[in-house]
Chains A and B, each alone.
Chain A
Amino acid sequence: MTLGLINANPVVQAKKEGLVRREDQYRDDGVDPLEIYDYVRDIRDPEHPYTLEQLRVVSEESVTVDDKLDRILITFTPTIQHCSMANIIGLCLRAKLKECLQLHYKVDIRVSPGSHADEVSVNKQLNDKERVVAALENPNLRQLVDECIYSDEI
């Protein structure tokens, strides 16, 4: 049995410092895209010792906020087309945001269009709340997700 990673040679980039907030556009008591990006950028990739930002899985363009309806859309780009970790990454995004955001925000998570071979099925799973709850109640999946979202505390 080989111990090779699914994508053994990911492209890694440096963390961007000093992103400027566009204060005027979003209401004071709401969230803006940069705030949400801050929550997710440092989530560790499930396979590699790098963050989602470093692997360009998420970027500041990943987050769209509908300020009036309190709805958030996050798109993420798996490192390769047949990435079997896409669902795990999506679950990590969900679990992290559930902790950081007020509960009434509606969050949709999708792979960026054209970036994954099973785009439709991955998107469907990540946005079915019963499936998400069932996945996060699975102790093995929960442990993997926790390792990714709390990696900076380890």
Chain B
Amino acid sequence: MKVMDKNLGLEEVQKLEGHTDRVWNVAWNPAADGVIASCSADKTVRIWEQSSLTRSWTCKLGHRLGSFDGNTCVWENFATDSESVSVLRGHESEVKSVSWNASGSLLATCGRDKSVWIWEIQPEEDDEFDTIAVLTGHSEDVKMVLWHPTMDVLFSCSYDNTIKIWCSEDEDGDYNCVQTLSELNNGHSSTVWSISFNAAGDKMVTCSDDLAVKIWKTDISRMQSGEGYVPWTHVCTLSGFHDRTIYSVHWSRDGVIASGAGDDTIQLFVDSDSDSVDGPSYKLLVKKEKAHEMDVNSVQWAPDKESRLLASASDDKMVKIWKLASEP
């Protein structure tokens, strides 16, 4: 089924009920099929598993955590309940986002204290985490951090309306801000809430309180060939689709961008395949009105290529699973 087939729609597969307050975020386990984690203002993280028999999801585990307490916790052996926990202390106020790099050796965190921290796991020291960088550059809360899918380049986005790109270019291994995407270079004009990369890692999508979704690109082969940092440039802006803050965007492995916003909708965009004089452009594939009863805070595609499953989290306390499929 090609992405460009007509009559594609987002079909609700299941509603996962259980959280007792707004759900901020949802993530698919990259290694275990059909396993989702969700975190909520009810101070718990829930793990939901899909039964191989019935294909429906149930909540397998719920863990209580301190919320907004400035700590990042790393959990192991979750499924067997014999978790050993590392607690990473350092941020002065709540940690908003965490991201592992591709090899799993580095963890990045960010928070309302405007800083981005990079931690390195020390396998020789019983998997302790060492702080290798505290990056201050954003002038306001940092909403999300995300490592590039193939290179150790870190991206962060903020209440200060910018996206910053950090990498380590010298032998000291020190991380520095190598580029800032702001309103001056076609960037957003209000808080940037989320970032996502396409599978190839040569394009990035961002979304904002300014009601726009923006696509950016870089010449990835030049960068991978060791030429040093290659800047990202703006490709196109999608506006007029959402009429309230867009909280989350996620790019699927087969090229569909999902967005979730304060207008309660989930929208899907794809490359329009028709390059105009101004360059490539994107178009709306599906608009799901009233996907939730309240703001959609997070949208995440399942990591495999075939299932076309999308998970969403909302202020209405629900996690929902959707499938992108041809409508009858």
Contact = CB atoms under 8 A, between A and B. Distances in A.
B244 A106 contact: yes
A133 B209 CA distance: 17
Contacts of A131: 112, 141, 159
A130 B295 CA distance: 13
Nearest to A120: B190
B93 interface: yes
A106 B315 CA distance: 11
B191 A137 contact: no
A112 to B, nearest CB: 20
B96 interface: yes
A123 to B, nearest CB: 11
B161 to A, nearest CB: 10
A134 B93 contact: yes
B294 A133 contact: no
A10 to B, nearest CB: 32
A103 B264 CA distance: 13
Interface size, B (range) = 10 to 19
Interface in A90-128: 103-104, 106, 124, 128
A133 B42 CA distance: 13
A128 B262 contact: no
Interface string A33-76: 00000000000000000000000000000000000000000000
B294 A104 contact: yes
B191 A128 contact: yes
A131 B68 CA distance: 11
B237 to A, nearest CB: 21
Interface residues of B, dominant DSSP: loop
Contacts of B262: 106
B141 A104 contact: no
B141 A130 contact: yes
A134 B68 CA distance: 8
B23 to A, nearest CB: 13
A130 B190 contact: no
A133 B41 CA distance: 10
Contacts of B244: 106
Given A130-B96, A134-B112, A124 B294 contact: no
B94 A124 contact: no
B93 A104 contact: no
Contacts of B191: 124, 128
Q: Which of A129, A131, A137 has the most B CB atoms < 10 Å from its CB?
A: A129
B293 interface: yes
B162 to A, nearest CB: 14
A128 B159 contact: yes
A118 to B, nearest CB: 14
Contacts of A124: 159, 190-191
Contacts of B294: 103-104
B190 A134 contact: no
18 contacts: A103-B294, A103-B315, A104-B293, A104-B294, A104-B316, A106-B244, A106-B262, A124-B190, A130-B96, A130-B143, A131-B112, A131-B141, A133-B41, A133-B68, A134-B68, A134-B93, A134-B94, A134-B112
Interface of B: 41, 68, 93-94, 96, 112, 141, 143, 159, 190-191, 209, 244, 262, 293-295, 315-316
Q: Which 7 A-B pairs have the closest CB atoms?
A: A104-B293, A104-B294, A137-B68, A134-B112, A134-B68, A134-B94, A128-B191
Interface of A: 103-104, 106, 124, 128-131, 133-134, 137
Given A104-B294, A130-B96, A130-B112, 4 more contacts: A103-B294, A130-B143, A133-B68, A134-B93
